[in-house]
Amino acid sequence: MEVLIGRVQTDFLLVLLTSLSSCMVARSYLGNYPAFTAPAYDLVSGRELPLYFLMGLLIGWAAILYVKALYKTEDLFSAWRFPDYLKPAVGGLVVGLTLRYFPEVYGAGFPAVESALWVRLPWELLIGLFVAEFLANCATLGSGGSGGVFAPSLYMGAMLGGGFGSLVHFLFPDVTAGSGAYAMVGMAAFFAAAAKAPTTSILILFEMTNDYRIMLPLMAATVGSVYLSHRLSPFSIYTLKLHRRGISYPGHEEAERAAQRMAATDVSTGPSTALP
């Protein structure tokens, strides 16, 4: 890309320098440790790659569903005739009720993610935690509460990937890795689909786990999730907010044209799947 397109220029070099300096400062205080400690996973068989790609498609669909649900919840709270300063309390009530039954979604949820990587959670709980995190995050952000989407994306990807991995390992135990490998790959695939940032997601997973051996499954799942994400929406979870507010950003014209093409196709073929 650097040679043929020339997009890696001085601004990007400044980003690298800033990342280097911040990383060195953080490591000097916190130490050189990965965010997650996980077993060493690898590709068991070449026949596993289609399963990872299939998981990527599933996760891509789930990520777009999450984006749509998040902004739909925001619209519902915005249209609700209720004191604005009390709306986050309602979202907090939903989160509290969720925590009553699924305390593992509290905070960033990294302990639960690590448990999924070590195959310590049954598949029923993995799916339950995915739904619980989905609901809690939409209630928090949609009601006006404070929070982000990065850690929840990793969480939901790990749980959904772990659930998928449990199924395929049960069906094909001889040619598939344990569910922890799918949970690890699912983290990157979910965020890649939501943010439309496949390269960033792959590098983030490497840095958070210090494990480069699962590269091929990671690429297969990320390609699948991002491909379906682009087919369903031209906007990422970040750029959609800018689009809704009429704020210009790099690449917005191309995204607008893609959204118009999707809308025209949906009108002629059936119900709309594009984001507003």
Supply the pLDDT for residue 243: 86
Residues 6+ apart with CB under 8 A from 255: 234, 235, 239, 243
Residues 209, 203: Cα–Cα separation, whole Å: 10
Q: Does residue 16 sit within a domain? A: yes
Task: Tell whether 69 and 192 lie within a shared domain.
Answer: yes
Band (134; pLDDT cuts 50, 70, 90): very high
Residues 159, 139: Cα–Cα separation, whole Å: 19
Supply the pLDDT for residue 256: 79
Task: Tell whether 174 and 215 lie within a shared domain.
Answer: yes
Task: Tell whether 74 and 92 lie within a shared domain.
Answer: yes
pLDDT tens per residue, range 211-239: 777 888 999 999 999 999 999 988 899 98
Task: Tell whether 64 and 138 lie within a shared domain.
Answer: yes
pLDDT tens per residue, range 42-72: 888 888 999 999 999 999 999 999 999 999 9
Task: Tell whether 126 and 142 lie within a shared domain.
Answer: yes
- Range 238-242 average pLDDT: 88
Task: Tell whether 4 and 116 lie within a shared domain.
Answer: no
Region of residue 21 (phi > 0: left; psi between -120 and 50: alpha; otherwise: beta): alpha
Token pair of 7 as six digits: 């997009």
CATH number, domain of 109, equals 1.10.3080.10
Task: Give yes or no for residue 269 having a pLDDT over 90.
Answer: no
Residues 193, 189: Cα–Cα separation, whole Å: 6
Q: Does residue 258 sit within a domain? A: no
Q: Does residue 266 sit within a domain? A: no
Task: Tell whether 138 and 9 lie within a shared domain.
Answer: no
Number of H helices, E strands in the chain: 11, 0
For the packed helices 110-117 and 150-171, what is the interaxial angle rounded to 10 degrees? 20
Task: Tell whether 108 and 11 lie within a shared domain.
Answer: no
Range of the domain at 106: 39-232
Supply the pLDDT for residue 12: 75
- Kindly report the pTM of this predicted structure: 0.87
How many domains, in total, are found in the chain? 2
Q: Does residue 246 sit within a domain? A: no
Q: Does residue 239 sit within a domain? A: no
Cβ proximity of 214 and 43 under 8 Å: yes
Task: Tell whether 45 and 1 lie within a shared domain.
Answer: no
Band (273; pLDDT cuts 50, 70, 90): very low
Q: Does residue 245 sit within a domain? A: no
Q: Does residue 259 sit within a domain? A: no
Token pair of 5 as six digits: 């397109």
